[in-house]
């Protein structure tokens, strides 16, 4: 006999488990940015920005050790989103490089890696951190997380969502080895001032989270999560 789940226990993927200033400080009320402006993503927070087809976004790693969880959804059709599962199939591999095109859950081209000043170590395997992940790691209370940053970034510009996709984890270092495909959580190999340039193949809303992970080494060993910066560029 299947036990009935109480209404208050039903998971609501659109609702954050906690809050930070992400929900209060969008770059603009509608997520439209100004070309050439340098925008700040404070440590542990997220920001959303609208990107037109043909425009590019440059994401900067000022301290060099910060991972960026990168999401994108089709503007006006939020059920279509950047999908790492479909991208792995399209590429036929689990590592990305300059020139690769990342696709949506409808297998359409969405984001192209145009330029990358780092050694090119990024991740397309790992789900974004969330409240449950930090509880499993031993957090005793609410911990900022990328899933909530995604939700709050879109809530801040009045865009409803029903699903948190797996992100493109920029600068995350997850080496895979062994016969069973074992992987480990390692510090980034990026350097201060590195940036990645991504071009949009469709109108989309991009969400970036300065990953708050401080319970594994993915943002570096002995350092705290730090800020990110970004700017938009026309054709």
pLDDT in tens, 137-193: 999 999 999 999 999 999 999 999 989 999 999 999 999 998 899 999 999 999 999
Contacts of 222 (CB under 8 A, 6+ apart): none
How far CA 196 is from CA of 70, 87, 154, 214, 234, in Å, comes to: 11, 18, 22, 23, 15
> Once rounded to an integer, what is the mean pLDDT over residues 107-122?
98
**Phi-psi sector, 101: left (phi>0), alpha (psi -120 to 50), beta:** beta
In a domain, 16, yes or no: no
Rounded mean pLDDT of the chain?
Answer: 94
In a domain, 184, yes or no: yes
Distance CA 109, CA 137 (A): 35
Q: What percent of the chain shows pLDDT beyond 70?
A: 96
Residue 8 has pLDDT above 90, yes or no: no
In a domain, 27, yes or no: no
Distance CA 143, CA 135 (A): 8
The pLDDT score that the predictor gives to residue 4 is 44
The pLDDT score that the predictor gives to residue 5 is 42
Could you give the angle at the alpha carbon of 68 between the alpha carbons of 117 and 33, nearest 5°?
A: 90
In a domain, 10, yes or no: no
> Once rounded to an integer, what is the mean pLDDT over residues 3-8?
47
In a domain, 48, yes or no: yes
The pLDDT score that the predictor gives to residue 2 is 42
* Residue 178, domain extent: 40-233
The pLDDT score that the predictor gives to residue 145 is 98
In a domain, 73, yes or no: yes
Which one has a higher pLDDT value, 11 or 67? 67
In a domain, 145, yes or no: yes
In a domain, 223, yes or no: yes
Which one has a higher pLDDT value, 7 or 36? 36
Q: How many domains does the chain have?
A: 1
Residue 69 has pLDDT above 90, yes or no: yes
Distance between start and end Cα atoms, the chain? 59
């Amino acid at each position: 006999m299947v036990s009935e789940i109480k209404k208050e226990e039903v998971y609501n993927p659109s609702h954050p488990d906690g809050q930070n200033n992400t929900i209060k400080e969008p770059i603009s009320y509608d997520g439209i940015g100004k070309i050439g402006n340098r925008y700040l993503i404070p440590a542990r927070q997220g920001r959303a920005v609208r990107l037109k087809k043909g425009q590019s976004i440059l994401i900067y790693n000022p301290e060099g050790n910060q991972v960026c969880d990168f999401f994108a959804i089709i503007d006006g059709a939020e059920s279509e989103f950047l999908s790492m599962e479909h991208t792995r199939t399209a590429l036929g591999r689990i590592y990305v490089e300059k020139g690769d095109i990342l696709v949506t859950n409808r297998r359409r081209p969405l984001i192209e890696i145009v330029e990358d000043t780092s050694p090119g170590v990024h991740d397309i395997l790992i789900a974004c951190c969330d409240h449950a992940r930090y509880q499993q790691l031993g957090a005793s209370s609410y911990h900022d997380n990328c899933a909530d940053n995604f939700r709050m970034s879109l809530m801040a510009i009045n865009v409803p969502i029903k699903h948190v996709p797996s992100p493109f984890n920029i600068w995350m270092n997850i080496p895979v080895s062994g016969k069973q495909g074992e992987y480990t959580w390692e510090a980034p190999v990026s350097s201060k001032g590195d940036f990645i340039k991504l071009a949009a193949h469709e109108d989309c809303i991009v969400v970036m989270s300065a990953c708050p992970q401080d319970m594994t080494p993915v943002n570096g060993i002995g350092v705290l999560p730090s800020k990110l910066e970004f700017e938009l560029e026309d054709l």
